[in-house]
Amino acid sequence: NAGVTQTPKFRVLKTGQSMTLLCAQDMNHEYMYWYRQDPGMGLRLIHYSVGEGTTAKGEVPDGYNVSRLKKQNFLLGLESAAPSQTSVYFCASSYTSLGTDRRSPTDEQYFGPGTRLTVT
């Protein structure tokens, strides 16, 4: 299993450009999350999804959109990039329902390797 993977690893954008970050997981997890990490700010939740076809806003959703068309993929879009979106972006996934052995959605989150985005 590859776990959680992210594409691309690095990207430089100019202000106003758009891009999509791809997160993929092969653990059959129901829940997927997008975080941004900035120095001294910890991990802040942008958007998350509790299942295929569903998305919800986190604490810093402005300027981002997401889609979860397939269970294994969670896409994060920037329609018009701004310098304030310069950050490291992490995707995470959690929660596999295994019949009677149901784990909680808030159990271990597995993180991807991150995408370093610079907006100039």
Partner 1 sequence: GENVEQHPSTLSVQEGDSAVIKCTYSDSASNYFPWYKQELGKRPQLIIDIRSNVGEKKDQRIAVTLNKTAKHFSLHITETQPEDSAVYFCAASLRGSTLGRLYFGRGTQLTVWP
Identity of the residue, 32 or 81, whose beta carbon is nearer to partner 1 in the bound complex: 32
Separation of alpha carbons 86 and 71, rounded Å: 28
Contact between 64 and partner 1 per CB under 8 A: no
Contact between 40 and partner 1 per CB under 8 A: yes
Query: Which candidate, 97, 4, 91, places its Cα nearest to that of 49?
Result: 91
Contact between 99 and partner 1 per CB under 8 A: no
- Distance, C-alpha 58 to centroid of its chain: 11
Contact between 8 and partner 1 per CB under 8 A: no
Both structure tokens of 97: 């329902």
Q: How many residues bind partner 1 (CB under 8 A)?
A: 25
Both structure tokens of 36: 């941004």
Q: Which stretch binds partner 1 (CB under 8 A): 18-26, 43-51, 63-71, 77-85?
A: 43-51
What percent helix, strand, coil does the chain show, rounded to 5?
0, 50, 45
Contact between 109 and partner 1 per CB under 8 A: yes
Which parts of this chain interact with partner 1 (CB under 8 A)? 31, 40-45, 48, 50, 56, 58-59, 90, 94-95, 104-109, 111-114
